Amino acid sequence: MDLLNNLGMGLGVALLPENILFCFLGALLGTLVGVLPGVGPAATIAILLPLTYALDPSTSIIMLAGIYYGAQYGGSTTAIMINLPGETSSIVTAIDGYRMARKGRAGAALAVAAVASLFAGTVSTLVLAVFAQPLSRVALNFAAPDYFALMVLGMLACVALASGSLLKSVGMSIAGILCGLIGTDIYSGTSRLTFGQFSLYDGISIIAIASGVFGLAEILRNLEGGSGSSTTLRLTGSLMPTREEARRSVMPAIRGTGIGTVLGLLPGGGAALASFAAYVTEKRISRHRAEFGKGAVEGVAAPEAANNAGAQMSFLPMLTLGIPSNPMMALFIAALILQGIVPGPRVMEAQPQLFWGLVASMWVGNLMLVVLNLPLVGLWVRLLTISYKYLFPAILVFAVFGVYATQNSTTDLYVMVVFGALGYLASKLGAELAPFILGFILGPMLEEYLRRSLIQSRGDFLIFLERPISAALLALAVAIVIAASLPSVARRRNAIFAPDP
Amino acid sequence: MSVINKEVGCGLFFITVGGLFLQQASGLEIGSVRSMGPGYMPGVLSILLIVIGLIVAGKGIWTAREVLPKLPLRALIFILVPPLLFALMIGPFGLALSMFVLAACAAMADRTTRLPQAVLIGLIMSALCVTLLVWALGVPIRVIGPALQFWGG
Amino acid sequence: MKLTGYIRKAVWGVTASLIAMTASPLLAETDYPTRPVTILVGAGPGGGNDLAARLIADDLTKTLGQAFVVENRPGASGARAAEYMMTQPADGYTLLLGNTATQIYNAMLLADTTFDPDRDSALAGMFGKSSNVLVVNKDLPVNSVAELVALAKEKPGELNYGSAGVGGSIHLAGAYFTQLAEIDAVHVPFKSGAEMMTDIIAGNTDFAIDNLATSFSAISNGDLKALAVTNATRWDSLPDVPTMAEAGYPQLDLTSFYSLVAAKDTDPAVLDKLNTAIAAYVASPEGAEQLGRIGAVPFDLSPADYPAFITTQGEIWRAMIVAGGTTPLK
């Protein structure tokens, strides 16, 4: 049994005392940098890289991986508690997680996020153990047209994300795409839409935008009455999820895990899509869809599971192909190379301890995160009950420090303020922010893949139909559009978007 | 006032954003569908956004809905201006003073907060940031900026 | 950073004071550095430039007895970091990781950068260099530069070459190569070197003159074929790969380098002290080994030889920029 052998070997490595120690250190450090503003996991890993020469390769990678998923975890904590998603991956969690917290269910949201992540981590560890070999080259089958088709599907999901007016959501997602296109056009090298600002040549930072439209706009909403004291949070019920909340989280966590596991294999933007896709899926099929955007527990369980599964799966193309799916994975490649290990198809045979040790340690690390964080839930939640009058200056300080310190950029602060104001205005005018953020993330990729496909096909649109993957994905997209525009279905869709009776 | 309801406001918002981007996109090379230039997507999308804005606003005029919400001016000023002050001050004055100004001004967004309370909040926040984030965590930000160097050495 | 940051600071503190006690009489000319020094990097954490900066920062921290702290200020291929250095006092406490972009081609390409490397910076020390390498998809039926050129001439306009962005070194080298070899190939830009490499491995893009550090792993796995290196001599870790000069294109002698530079008016004694420390690192076996890990080799170039080196490389860059379809500004 390969599976048992591999997992056994992995656990053997992961459970060595020093590896447990460094896994714990990494997870702890990651949670801290994820929760605290100003130091991202990328910077932390980069700072620690030269120090890891001294360690055994598997030990150092295990520790760095701990920082990576620990930080994602910490990012979800701030997203749920104060609507400040510290990492891109926790933006979706902020939508319903924060609403749950405002309803006094912060403890439940944090616990569901933790357990859903652990579940997803367990499943993706098993999937890696069984299918690592055949899955390792999946990423190479995806060319520009296929990614384009995937992004089209994602943008259609944008529309599905709406709970209010369909037209306004489309408008907001277009505004998001336009903001995403700010910066240097990679195909011509010309800077565009920069409003004359030299500092916008490299585009605008997603963390600055998210801190504005989520964090700042939320503070403004809470202060509408003139005093924050009236919006001070009162906790309701027990700290932990109720039986009902737990039951409602099970299927979303399972589906989220499935979605994350598949999309995590696609380094060209799959992982970024995972949490959105999981959220949209739940919103479409849930019996509680009216609660989405108002604190639905499914809206926490699904994206958190998808995130974590996606994050773990993205180690596979990184290790076996040397392809990073995000800047963090690029750092892991640097770490491996510093250790004299060349990522590639032979890593699994040449460095089985490293490969399987890492896979097993991710599971161990996820377990540690839950053990580490569940006792903290009580503390976090109690912090939230401080009078909002004193809490909001702290949240603002948090946001400003976090946005400034990550890139030492005052431009990012201006961006945050502008988008805080616009985000507040838009929400006052009944337009939603989720489609805006999704458009911001996916829009530039959509354009990039579309134009690359056309360059490589010399302007021939048939390329989208000749490739089986893109043809299938586009057919699916067309089917969705047709289904949505048929009168009878349209009526039903309206029923879906309107708050359920 | 009755014409400018929430829907019309949202439509105008889209039209303004679309218009701004269209103005930015003008002058960029558009190219063709087969070989798109940098201005193709921005141009098409901002026109689309303007059209959507017109539809939203048009529908709003005929179907009167909720009135335009009042804006909380005090909160808007005290939440949005301090980060800008911080951005201007962080270079010359360093973290300690900028953070104090940020937190103290922001605290005044709440109309029940008195000045001494705000000053106290500013002091605490500034001290926390400097000790916890810069000294303990090692975030590379200057605590006392060059304009105040005669103090800090 | 938190715990380890503490430990590291403590360890550094102790070693630093020990070193200061034993070594201070020898370095009596200037007491620089008396407080932490910032090294600006014009790129985000984790890339070759960032890692190079961190290696030299660690070494200088040990030898000069003050913390050398890396600060990432990404943007406009390093121009933002360079401009930031100009706003700081010229006292040697704010250094910049100088590379091909900041010291040579940004000034030629970016109309609105205010940083002029000749006017605004002085070399503190050169410490590493790396090469670019012409790579092709492993299934492309060519095994040498000559065969690649022959194939491209047989199928004009059909081959694609990749880059990590218009106006970057990979694009310009590729464009210059197609010009020198008189072949017609289509340029496909990507957002990053890694994305480009993936597309070449998958066979959608045919070749590129990639950074060696990015494609080294794929070359050693056999996913990419290396046809030539742009360095003037063969590269130690790829002894079987000829140089561009051997392949008949001596004009493509391209060296990407890592250096530390300071503001122009920095006290010469401070520059001298930094240069001595950096030269010691370059000569040390640890330096060679650490740089080797990021796909670079030690680069021993004295400040006296630096201007000539920059002029020669500048000429090559100017030719490449013209080949890439733009007119150099400088």
pLDDT at A391 exceeding the cut of 70 = yes
Mean pLDDT in residue range C139-150: 96
ipTM of this complex: 0.93
* Alpha carbon distances (Å) from A228 to A386, C186, C304: 11, 60, 65
pLDDT at A499: 45
Q: What are phi and psi of C228, to 5 degrees?
A: -165, 150
Q: Reduced to 3 states, what is the DSSP secondary structure of residue C263?
A: strand
pLDDT at C289: 87
pLDDT at A97: 93
pLDDT at A335 exceeding the cut of 90 = no
More confident residue, B62 or C134: C134
Residue A259 lies in a domain: no
pLDDT at A486: 63
Residue B1 lies in a domain: no
pLDDT at B86 exceeding the cut of 80 = yes
Does B56 contact A187 at a Cβ distance shorter than 8 Å? Answer: no
CA distance C29 to chain A (A): 31
Residue B10 lies in a domain: yes
More confident residue, B58 or B69: B58
How many angstroms separate the CA atoms of A44 and A71, rounded? 10
Helix, strand, coil fractions of chain A, as percent rounded to 5: 75, 0, 25
Does B133 contact A226 at a Cβ distance shorter than 8 Å? Answer: no
Does C6 contact B136 at a Cβ distance shorter than 8 Å? Answer: yes
Mean pLDDT in residue range A300-304: 95
Nearest to C69 among B91, B136, B140 (CB): B140
Predicted confidence (pLDDT) per residue in A146-176, tens digit: 999 999 988 886 676 566 678 898 999 999 9
pLDDT at C53 exceeding the cut of 70 = yes
Domain that holds residue B78: 73-152
Residue A46 lies in a domain: yes
Distance separating the N- and C-terminal Cα atoms of chain A? 53
pLDDT at A161: 56
Of A191-200, B29-38, C27-36, the range with the highest mean pLDDT is B29-38
| Beta-carbon contacts below 8 Å between A and C | 150
Nearest to C166 among A48, A186, A345 (CB): A186
Beta strands in chain B (DSSP E): none
Beta-bridged to residue C257, according to DSSP, are C129
Which of A391-395, A438-442, C291-295, C319-323 bottoms out in mean pLDDT, i.e. has the lowest? C291-295
> Of chain A residues 194-213, which have a CB less than 8 A from chain B?
194-195
Average of per-residue pLDDT values in chain A: 86
Residue B68 lies in a domain: no
More confident residue, A406 or C312: C312
How many angstroms separate the CA atoms of A50 and C54, rounded? 7
* Alpha carbon distances (Å) from A188 to A185, B21, C112, C170, C191: 6, 19, 17, 15, 12
Predicted confidence (pLDDT) per residue in C255-269, tens digit: 889 999 999 999 999
Of A125-129, A265-269, A331-335, the range with the highest mean pLDDT is A125-129
Which CATH architecture fits C2-130+256-305? 3-Layer(aba) Sandwich (3.40)
Residue B137 lies in a domain: yes
Same domain, B78 and B29: no
pLDDT at A491: 53
Residue spans of the domains in chain C: they are: 2-130+256-305, 132-229
Mean pLDDT in residue range A258-285: 86
pLDDT at A237: 76
pLDDT at C15: 43
Distance separating the N- and C-terminal Cα atoms of chain C? 42
> With contact defined as beta carbons under 8 Å apart, do A71 and A88 qualify?
no
> With contact defined as beta carbons under 8 Å apart, do C291 and C128 qualify?
yes
Which of A91-100, A484-493, B16-25, B36-45 bottoms out in mean pLDDT, i.e. has the lowest? A484-493
Predicted confidence (pLDDT) per residue in A205-249, tens digit: 888 999 999 999 999 999 988 777 777 877 777 888 999 999 999
Mean pLDDT in residue range C186-212: 90
Mean pLDDT in residue range B127-133: 90
Looking at this protein, which amino acid is placed at residue C214?
Answer: T
How many angstroms separate the CA atoms of A63 and A353, rounded? 15
Predicted confidence (pLDDT) per residue in B104-122, tens digit: 999 999 989 999 999 999 9
Average of per-residue pLDDT values in chain C: 86
> Of chain A residues 349-408, which have a CB less than 8 A from chain B?
389-390, 392-394, 396-397, 399-401, 404-405, 408
More confident residue, B2 or B44: B44
pLDDT at B2: 54
Residue B115 lies in a domain: yes
pLDDT at C2: 41
pLDDT at C4: 44
pLDDT at A144: 93
Contact list in C for residue A28 (CB cut-off 8 A) is: 3
A462-493 burial string, b = 16+ CB within 10 Å, else e? ebbeebeebbebbeebeebeeeeeeeeeeeeb
Same domain, B86 and B43: no
pLDDT at A494 exceeding the cut of 60 = no
Q: Count of domains in chain A? A: 1
Domain that holds residue A59: 2-239+314-497
Same domain, B147 and B77: yes
Same domain, B50 and B97: no
pLDDT at C23: 44
Shortest CA distance from A197: residue in chain B:
B24
Q: How far is CA A418 from the centre of its chain?
A: 23
How many angstroms separate the CA atoms of A222 and A231, rounded? 6
Of A182-196, B8-22, C191-205, the range with the highest mean pLDDT is B8-22
Task: Give the sheet arrangement for strand C207-211, strand by strand.
Answer: C186-189, C160-163, C207-211, C132-137, C224-229
Does A38 contact B137 at a Cβ distance shorter than 8 Å? Answer: yes
Residue B130 lies in a domain: yes
With CA atoms as reference, report the closest residue to B126 among B153, B98, B106, B148: B98
The string of DSSP letters for A435-485 reads HHHHHHHHHHHHHHHHHHHHHHTTS-TTHHHHSHHHHHHHHHHHHHHHHHH
pLDDT at A158: 62
Does A48 contact C167 at a Cβ distance shorter than 8 Å? Answer: no
Task: Tell whether C26 is within 8 A of chain B (Cβ).
Answer: no
C76: left (phi over 0), alpha (psi -120 to 50) or beta: left
Chain C touching partners, 3 or more CB pairs below 8 A: A, B
Shortest CA distance from C34: residue in chain B:
B153
Residue A428 lies in a domain: yes
Does C74 contact A338 at a Cβ distance shorter than 8 Å? Answer: no
pLDDT at A385: 86
Q: Reduced to 3 states, what is the DSSP secondary structure of residue A268?
A: coil
Same domain, B78 and B55: no
Task: Tell whether C1 is within 8 A of chain B (Cβ).
Answer: yes
Same domain, B122 and B144: yes
Which of A26-30, A356-360, C42-46 bottoms out in mean pLDDT, i.e. has the lowest? C42-46
Shortest CA distance from A414: residue in chain B:
B84
Q: Is B21 exposed, middle or buried (0-12, 13-18, 19+ CB in 10 A)?
A: buried
Element (DSSP H or E) covering residue A303: helix A298-313
In CATH, which of 3.20.20.70, 3.40.50.10150, 3.40.190.10, 3.40.50.720 is domain C132-229?
Answer: 3.40.190.10
Q: Give the CA radius of gyration of chain B.
A: 23
The residues, any chain, with a CB within 8 Å of residue B57's CB and separated by 6 or more, are B7, B8, B10, B11, B12, B15
pLDDT at A162: 63
With CA atoms as reference, report the closest residue to A143 among A443, A438, A479, A471: A471
Mean pLDDT in residue range C5-9: 47
| Token output for B97 | 């003073």
Residue B67 lies in a domain: no
Contact list in A for residue C192 (CB cut-off 8 A) is: 330
Mean pLDDT in residue range A373-392: 87
pLDDT at A200: 85
pLDDT at C26: 44
Which of A171-180, A238-247, A355-364, C214-223 bottoms out in mean pLDDT, i.e. has the lowest? C214-223
Q: Give the CA radius of gyration of chain C.
A: 21
pLDDT at B3: 62
Task: Tell whether A450 is within 8 A of chain B (Cβ).
Answer: yes
Q: Count of domains in chain B? A: 2
Element (DSSP H or E) covering residue A362: helix A352-384
Same domain, B144 and B80: yes
Q: Reduced to 3 states, what is the DSSP secondary structure of residue B96?
A: helix
pLDDT at B65: 65
Nearest to A29 among C3, C167, C290 (CB): C3
Predicted confidence (pLDDT) per residue in C55-100, tens digit: 899 899 989 988 888 888 877 788 889 998 998 889 999 999 999 9
